[in-house]
């Protein structure tokens, strides 16, 4: 059976991007459940758990970057098969099987490195100036989270395999079920239900690991039942082709550091906001969370357009990249404009789910102001993320890293420090610098995308 789909058009992009965005939003829901459960244990638990999740997410994001490009490699192989044989032939299936096996080996090694780094950071927490009770709670949670990097990475390989063949929908249903499983597992390990040990904060980390195993098993089962995917499934990582492994690592390393750089600049902005007091930090966290929710839709559009560009390139239709880009930006900017209108017209309504009806007036006022900056951030950050995906679809991962390093660290961080402290704009200055960093990155990436698409293939 062949899998054919026109690589252009809003319908093709939406069909691929919507399930990916849904998966991203479901992942946000998982984190929200964790934070809510930690809130039941008190302020120290929230502080320690939040620190553990922040460090875990930094490592997790970089690990995932190592295998994100696998979807593009699979899509390119499928596109070349369509050009060569009108659909997937034996050669393409063998190539995709080899990619899957090799990607699983890369994922395992990346998870091993990530788990080692996370445990090392847990042991080094006292050096970060944290109080002993925070260190004790956060360290236990980080140790519990470390083991979950392995099933999480294997799941992401299977996810990229399915996305590369344009069949991502089943993972959304699995992820939605995992939210309920996560809530039950959190409570069971925190309070020691059903004879389980009472683990408190560490139980949240262990629950996350258990959910990762559950999600992996459930999605692997759906992949094996899929008649179009099953013939290409090979989990024998020990049979990985060294040349393919090197290709995946070479392709994924720039993505890894691009993702890590983006996570790091957001973390730096959060730390700087904390220096201006609890109200500023709370307002910034809420504004960031709202922007983060919208950002998940842009991630879906970025990955969806990236896969379509890879597929088109494999079919010798590289000239379709600007068309796919135009559709992605139209959808992204339209969604962002609608949400941004809410930020400007009814900020209180947008903030209510996070601050409630009896919110502190100072926090509410600051958060309402920061939502205006969030409008700029959403447009610039969403644009640069889609551009990174488009360039990845064209086989260019190095430019994404180079542009983000210049935009984030050459413009963003210095601008945050200058606006906050030199110009005396305080917390608002941090957000000005953050917007400048994302904006500069978007401009650099747009210029690079124009250069790449103007060069004939080959």
Distance (Å, whole) CA 213 – CA 226: 20
CA gap 37, 357 in Å, rounded:
21
Q: Would you state the structure tokens that stand for residue 150, as one six-digit string? A: 């392995």
| SS3 (DSSP) at 196 | coil
- Angle at which helices 278-314 and 242-274 pack, to 10 degrees? 160
Domain parsing of the chain, residue ranges: 16-240, 262-458
Ramachandran bin of 129, using left for φ above 0, alpha for ψ from -120 to 50, beta for the remaining angles: left
Distance CA 232, CA 97 (A): 5
Count CA atoms closer than 13 A to 33's CA, side-chain side. Answer: 22
Q: Please tell me the predicted confidence (pLDDT) of residue 101.
A: 94
- 209 vs 184: CA distance, rounded Å: 13
Amino acid 94: pLDDT: 92
Q: What is the pLDDT of residues 77-121, one digit of tens each?
A: 988 888 888 878 889 899 999 999 999 999 999 999 999 999 998
- pLDDT for 5 equals 44
Residue 390, C-beta contacts closer than 8 angstroms, at least 6 positions apart: 302, 305, 306, 309, 321, 324, 325, 328, 449
Residue 292's φ and ψ, nearest 5 degrees, are: -65, -35
Stretches in the chain below the pLDDT threshold 70 = 1-8, 43, 128-129, 168-172, 354-359, 456-458
pTM of the model: 0.82
Residue carrying the six token digits 């990619």:
99
Q: What is the pLDDT of residue 3?
A: 41
Residue of 84, 404, 120 whose CA lies nearest to 262: 404
Query: What pLDDT sits at residue 359?
Result: 59
d(CA 338, CA 432): 22
d(CA 189, CA 30): 16
Structure tokens at 177: 């079920």
The three-class DSSP label of residue 240 is coil
Determine the Cα–Cα distance for residues 5 and 360; give it in Å rounded to an integer. Answer: 52
| Residues ≥6 apart with Cβ < 8 Å to 210 | 181, 185
Check residue 2 and give its pLDDT.
40
Contacts of 71 by beta carbon, 8 Å cutoff, 6+ apart = 159, 160, 161, 163, 164, 303, 306, 307, 310
| Torsion region of 143: left, alpha or beta (phi above 0 gives left; psi -120 to 50 gives alpha) | alpha
What is the pLDDT, as a whole number, of residue 356? 63
pLDDT at 8: 58
Are the C-beta atoms of 414 and 267 separated by less than 8 Å?
Answer: no
Other beta carbons less than 10 A from residue 14's beta carbon = 16
Give 168-180 as a DSSP string: -HHHHHHHHHHHH
Residue 329 CB neighbours (<10 A): 18
H helices of 86-148, where?
90-123, 132-146
CA distances from 46 to 32, 58, 168, 200, 204 (A): 12, 18, 34, 12, 11
What is the 8-class DSSP label of residue 241? -
């Amino acid at each position: 059976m062949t899998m054919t789909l026109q690589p252009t058009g809003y319908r093709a992009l939406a069909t691929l991007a919507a399930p990916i965005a849904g998966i991203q939003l479901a992942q946000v829901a998982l984190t929200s459940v964790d934070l809510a459960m930690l809130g039941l244990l008190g302020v120290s638990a929230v502080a320690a758990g939040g620190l553990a999740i922040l460090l875990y997410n930094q490592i997790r994001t970089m690990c995932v970057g190592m295998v994100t490009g696998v979807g593009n490699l699979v899509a390119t192989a499928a596109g070349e098969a369509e050009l060569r044989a009108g659909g997937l032939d034996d050669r393409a299936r063998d190539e995709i099987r080899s990619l899957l096996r090799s990607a699983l080996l890369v994922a395992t090694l990346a998870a091993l490195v990530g788990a080692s780094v996370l445990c090392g950071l847990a042991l080094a927490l006292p050096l970060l100036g944290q109080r002993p009770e925070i260190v004790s709670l956060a360290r236990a949670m980080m140790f519990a989270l470390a083991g979950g990097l392995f099933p999480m990475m294997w799941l992401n390989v299977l996810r990229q395999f399915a996305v590369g063949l344009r069949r991502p929908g089943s993972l959304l249903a699995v992820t939605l079920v995992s939210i309920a499983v996560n809530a039950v597992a959190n409570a069971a390990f925190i309070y020691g239900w059903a004879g389980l040990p009472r683990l408190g904060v560490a139980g949240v980390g262990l629950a996350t690991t258990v959910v990762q195993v559950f999600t992996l098993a459930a999605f692997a089962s759906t992949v094996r039942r899929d008649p179009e995917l099953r013939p290409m499934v090979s989990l024998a990582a020990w049979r990985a082709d060294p040349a393919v492994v090197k290709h995946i690592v070479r392709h994924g390393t720039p993505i890894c550091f691009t993702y890590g750089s983006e996570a790091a600049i957001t973390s730096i902005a959060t730390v700087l906001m904390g220096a201006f007091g609890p109200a500023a930090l709370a307002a910034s966290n809420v504004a960031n969370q709202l922007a983060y929710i919208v950002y998940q839709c842009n991630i879906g559009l970025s990955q969806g357009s990236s896969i379509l560009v890879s597929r088109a390139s494999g079919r010798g239709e590289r000239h379709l990249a600007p068309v796919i880009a135009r559709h992605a930006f139209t959808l992204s900017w339209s969604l962002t404009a609608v949400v941004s209108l809410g930020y400007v017209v009814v900020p209180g309504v947008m903030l209510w789910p996070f601050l409630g009806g009896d919110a502190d007036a100072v926090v509410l006022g600051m958060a309402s102001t920061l939502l205006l900056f969030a409008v700029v951030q959403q447009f610039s950050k969403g644009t640069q993320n889609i551009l990174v995906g488009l360039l990845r679809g064209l086989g260019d991962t190095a430019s994404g890293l180079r542009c983000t390093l210049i935009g984030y660290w050459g413009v963003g961080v210095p601008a945050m420090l200058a606006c906050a402290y030199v110009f005396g704009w305080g917390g608002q200055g941090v957000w000005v610098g953050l917007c400048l960093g994302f904006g500069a990155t978007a401009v650099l990436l747009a210029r690079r995308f124009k250069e790449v698409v103007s060069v004939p293939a080959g």
